[in-house]
Chains A and B, each alone.
Chain A
Amino acid sequence: MSRVVSVTSSNVYCMNNDHQAQASPAGPIVQLAGVNKHYGALHVLNNINLEVTKGEVVVILGPSGSGKSTLCRAINRLETIDEGTIKIDGNTLPSEGKALAKLRADVGMVFQSFNLFAHKSILENVTLGPIKVKGMKKQEAKDLAMKLLERVGVANQADKLPAQLSGGQQQRVAIARALAMKPKVMLFDEPTSALDPEMINEVLDTMVGLAKEGMTMLVVTHEMGFARKAADRVIFMADGQIVEQATPEQFFTNPQSDRAKDFLGKLITNH
């Protein structure tokens, strides 16, 4: 499933598998500094400072309501923030308008509920962004889309509507749709949480393949297997704060904070 195919010469897909060792002379791709957000009395993001360097795969773990999804969505400004700055590749995220749209085009987003455009075919879902946002020629966009659909294993469904596909297939199309924009970073907001168990792996395999190719990824998930297999760094959040950051190895074998120990303990007893 995780065929490693370089679809473009863009520097996003560097073939260096040892991305942990990559230095980032150009600075971080994603940079959050002093980010705060409140929902009424709830302090959902509490002074978040986070940098994701190029090629890095960061997995955010944490209990429900810890703010990890909000953090992920804030990076694309699908959630507003009260304080702090968010930078994408050195550019501060603007609050509105064309500049925001332009920056969003560089950030791929994969949602829990897939959110494929329901009235468009699978192929149109993938070509829409390149054609309408980047002004790519139709044929070129179609070729790119077919390559990406091939790579996520759903090329034979190109003419169907989203509702005709299984959840796992839809989510893989959503990944292809995001990749078609040649993003600098991909955000995954619980990409497998809405899937039946037997479809989780096909999506995770696609994501592991992406990680191996050097895509910069920020993944909110409950899939510990993915974190172990593909993450360079695990971030553990609780109550809107980043409680702990470590390599997956360190985090799963030797968590430092009580919250993380408690969280991992519950996972083990529940499975």
Chain B
Amino acid sequence: MENYLSIFTEYDIPGAFWVNIQLTFWAAIGALVLGTILALLRISPVASFQAIGASYVNLVRNTPLTIIILFAVLALYGQLGFTLGGDFQANFFRLSVLGLAVYHAAFVCEAIRSGVNTVPLGQAEAARAIGLGFMPAARLIILPQAFRGAIVPLGNTLIALIKNSTVAAVGSVATESSSVMKTMIEFRSDIVIPIFLTFAIGFVIIVIPVGLLTTWLSKKLAVAR
């Protein structure tokens, strides 16, 4: 037991999880913004906008996240010299956030679209009938109701994002939890299973409140019809 507890003093485990939470936080904001724009493209009346949105979703959603983050770090930065500022570490962190945001935006888009499907067609017709154009109607009438109908799928996407933030390991974010875990396993092969369990339980502890929160929010914010 003492043997096991020593890993908490040797390694900064809460700090490692904190890096994942930060990755998740910034990627979630990026994914939400980009995903909303994509959803608007997909529900717009303009066929070419719909095609752009659909192409993005089908390309990005069907590409492994590892490849996207590797692309950000090795191709965008390594080959093309694209940086997002900060020092070496901060740049990798930001490139990983970019990869996570770009990837999860496709899922956010589809979650919002499922929310749009919960809004009766009559709502859009009534909005158009009082003279609102597409964007004002989307902003004032459709999206507010769509978000409220999409809380559960958006929550699922957030949960996936929290866990997928460990893929930032391939983006050379060495401080996040799966990288730290890998290091620990290398040096403490005597307690491999406890180390795995520590990180597994750590993620469960982070993720469970998100699930509870989204269930509660989806009930509280449901649009009465």
- Name A residues whose Cβ lies closer than 8 Å to a Cβ of B: 76, 78, 96-98, 101-102, 104-109, 111, 113-119, 128-129, 132-133, 161-164, 174, 177-178, 181
Whether B225 contacts A118 by the Cβ 8 Å rule is yes
A101/B127 contact (C-beta < 8 A), A118-B224, A119-B145 known: no
A118/B130 contact (C-beta < 8 A), A111-B122, A132-B136 known: no
- Name B residues whose Cβ lies closer than 8 Å to a Cβ of A: 45, 120, 122-123, 125-133, 136, 140-141, 144-145, 148, 223-225
B132 neighbours in A (Cβ, 8 Å): 101, 129, 132-133
B129 neighbours in A (Cβ, 8 Å): 76, 78, 104, 107-109, 111, 178
- In the complex, which of the residues A97, A114, A132 contacts B140, with contact meaning CB atoms closer than 8 Å? A132
Q: Which residue of B lies closest to A103 (CB)?
A: B131
A97 neighbours in B (Cβ, 8 Å): 133
Measured in the bound complex, the distance between the Cα atoms of B74 and A180 in whole Å is 58
Whether B225 contacts A163 by the Cβ 8 Å rule is yes
Q: Which 8 A-B residue pairings sit nearest by Cβ, starting from the closest? A: A105-B131, A163-B224, A115-B122, A115-B126, A129-B130, A109-B129, A133-B131, A101-B133
B130 neighbours in A (Cβ, 8 Å): 104-105, 109, 128-129, 133, 177-178, 181
- In the complex, which of the residues B45, B125, B133 contacts A111, with contact meaning CB atoms closer than 8 Å? B125
Say how far B87's CB is from chain A's closest CB, in angstroms: 45
Interface pairs (9), CB distance under 8 Å:
A109-B125, A111-B129, A119-B144, A128-B130, A132-B140, A133-B132, A162-B224, A163-B225, A164-B224
Measured in the bound complex, the distance between the Cα atoms of B123 and A98 in whole Å is 19
B126 neighbours in A (Cβ, 8 Å): 109, 111, 115-117, 174, 177
